[in-house]
Amino acid sequence: MNPIHKFTGNRLLQLVPKTRKARIVSAGAVFLSMCAFGAVGVAPIAPDASDLPVKQVAQDLELPNLADQIVALQQDEQQFIHEERVRPGDSLGSLFNRLGVNDADAQKFVRSDKLAKRLLSLKTGKRIQAETDENGLLLSLRATITDGKGGDARTITVTRQGEKFVAADMPAKLERRVEMRSREITSSLYSATDSNVDGGSLPDSVVNQIIEMFSTNIDFRGDLKRGDRFSVVYETFWLDGELVKTGRILAGEFINRGVRYQSVWYEDPVTKQGGYYTLDGKALKKAFLKSPLEFSRISSGFSMRVHPISGKWKAHKGVDYAAASGTPIRAVADGVIDFAGNSGGYGNQVVVKHWSSYSTAYAHMSRFAPGVRKGSKVSQGQVIGYVGSTGWSTGPHLHYEFRVAGQAQNPEKFKSLAQQPLNQAELARFRMAAAEMNHRFSLLAPSGGNTMMAR
Ligand SMILES: [Zn+2]
């Protein structure tokens, strides 16, 4: 900073001319130089000043603190930080060479330590940083590893501790971007999302989320029509200019057969519960009912227990509701009947497939409700059968399972899927979030360039 200002000053001294026009040019140069170097509080110079305040510029500069400079110099002598990018055909040896690391022990450690060894899998173009002392001994080494698709990026650090090294890893700091894409359906959702126009195909996870967001309104197998269109705003996470993973859809709009569906992801900052909502704050996706029975009590929860018939300890992968025989059983959410029949220990059982990978099972029924058969649609709250004691059961009860990808899970863990309407305070917060998304949709209105990036 200092030398540049001096230089500018000297130039000005040499150039100070007698004509008014030339003076204005010179004064402009001083002003520009001050702007460029973060002006030090000098008032702009009047063009008609008789002598240009060159001295004043110099006086106003802060002198670097001598003590700081000495400390910085000392550090320079002790530590060297290098950054390199991995080149094709690099070995750890060649990489260390370029990084200025001359440390056989460090190489040995990186080759043998379980965690540090992962640095050997760094791909071409990836950055690696090394800090050494003046003799090239390694003080620390760090790089970020990504494990293929969807894998979490982790920053691995090797640090010298006396004569030894320690390796550690932690989640990498990723750069978050928000991307917006818009597509028109010409044949299918997949062909639209695969198409390479407007910034390339959409990630599979985004396509799955589109289906999850709108499947209570749109049947993606039958309802899509040529000319339907959608826009999505979603998060992506980057490292070194490379896409590491795709996050959540923050907002989406789907125009199906002329009807517009809009949805915004909203996570309440207080309750930390998130879900998709329409722009007016109504839960877009209907909640799972809390219970398949209108009036019921849980007689056995999702836990370990002694099996009532075999007498052995085993995990109870469902929730038992005690109820009188014949009590109506309701589907907890919209879906399609995936199974309705006799299923060994489950007795008369109905399995309902919902959106995404969720399904629910209802066992030991005395009988099925009329029209309940594989492939038929059911809506939330619809009666699908009646409590009984068929299969391995000691008395009338409903055995209910909440399944994710076919595996029974504790429904309590999926409470966040049960979206309650927002209350007044939540609604106020939501409206602020929704307004921003609405603005983004307006930016996506059909017109030429459909891909936009925003932060
Ligand atoms: Zn049970």
Q: What is the 343 CA–ligand 1 centroid distance (Å)? A: 14
What Cα–Cα distance (Å) separates residue 383 from each residue in 172, 292, 298, 315, 318? 49, 9, 19, 28, 20
User: Residue 302 has which token pair?
Assistant: 């999702």
Percent of all residues in the chain with a pLDDT value above 70, rounded to a whole number: 66
Residue 330 in 3-state DSSP? strand
At residue 138, the pLDDT reads: 94
What's the mean pLDDT when you consider all of the chain? Answer: 74
Residue scoring higher pLDDT (183 or 14): 183
pLDDT band at 105 (very low <50, low <70, confident <90, very high): very high
Per-residue buried b or exposed e for 394-431, using 16+ beta carbons within 10 Å of the residue's own CB: eebbbbbbbbeeeebbebeeeeebbbeebeeebeeebe
Q: Please tell me the distance between residue 216's alpha carbon and the centre of ligand 1 in angstroms.
A: 29
List, for residues 195-218, the tens digit of each pLDDT value: 666 667 788 888 888 877 776 677
Tell me how far the alpha carbon of residue 321 lies from the centroid of ligand 1, in angstroms.
Answer: 8
Range of weakest confidence among 30-39, 76-85, 121-130: 30-39
Query: pTM of the prediction?
Result: 0.47
Which conformational region is residue 237 in: left (phi greater than 0), alpha (psi within -120 to 50 degrees), or beta? beta
Q: What is the pLDDT of residue 19?
A: 37
Residue-by-residue DSSP string for 434-451: HHHHHHHHHHTSSSS---
Which pLDDT band holds residue 141 (cuts at 50, 70, 90)?
very high
Please say whether the beta carbons of 266 and 434 come within 8 A.
Answer: yes
Sorting pLDDT into bands at 50, 70 and 90, what band is 441?
Answer: low
Considering only CA atoms, which of 425, 430, 417, 434 is closest in space to residue 380?
Answer: 417
The answer to which of 232-236, 278-282, 311-315 has the lowest mean pLDDT is: 311-315
pLDDT band of 310, cuts 50, 70, 90: low
**71-171 against 175-285+446-454: fold identical:** yes
Give the Å distance between the CA of 308 and the centre of ligand 1: 10
304 confidence band (pLDDT: 50, 70, 90): low
CA 355 / ligand 1 centre spacing (Å): 24
Amino acid (one-letter) located at 427: L
- At CA 212, angle to CA 275 and CA 269, rounded to 5? 15
Instruction: Choose between 54 and 372: higher pLDDT.
Output: 372
Q: How much distance in Å is there from the Cα of 363 to the middle of ligand 1?
A: 8
Q: Tell me the pLDDT band of 18, cut-offs 50, 70 and 90.
A: very low
Alpha carbon dihedral 315, 318, 324, 327, in 10-degree steps, equals -170
- Report domain extents, the chain: 2-60, 71-171, 175-285+446-454, 297-417
For residue 318, the CA-to-ligand 1 centroid distance in Å is 5
Architecture of the structural domain at 175-285+446-454: Roll (3.10)
Read off the pLDDT of each residue in 250-262 and give the average, rounded to a whole number. 87
For residue range 322-366, list pLDDT tens digits in order: 899 999 999 988 789 999 999 989 999 999 998 777 899 999 999
- Max mean pLDDT range (156-160, 181-185, 441-445): 156-160
User: What's the pLDDT at 70?
Assistant: 57
Q: Are 311 and 357 in contact (CB under 8 A)?
A: no
Q: Is the pLDDT of residue 79 over 90?
A: no
Average pLDDT over residues 42-68: 43
**Domain 71-171 -> CATH class:** alpha beta
Pick the CATH number of 297-417 from 1.10.3720.10, 2.70.70.10, 1.10.10.410, 3.40.50.300: 2.70.70.10
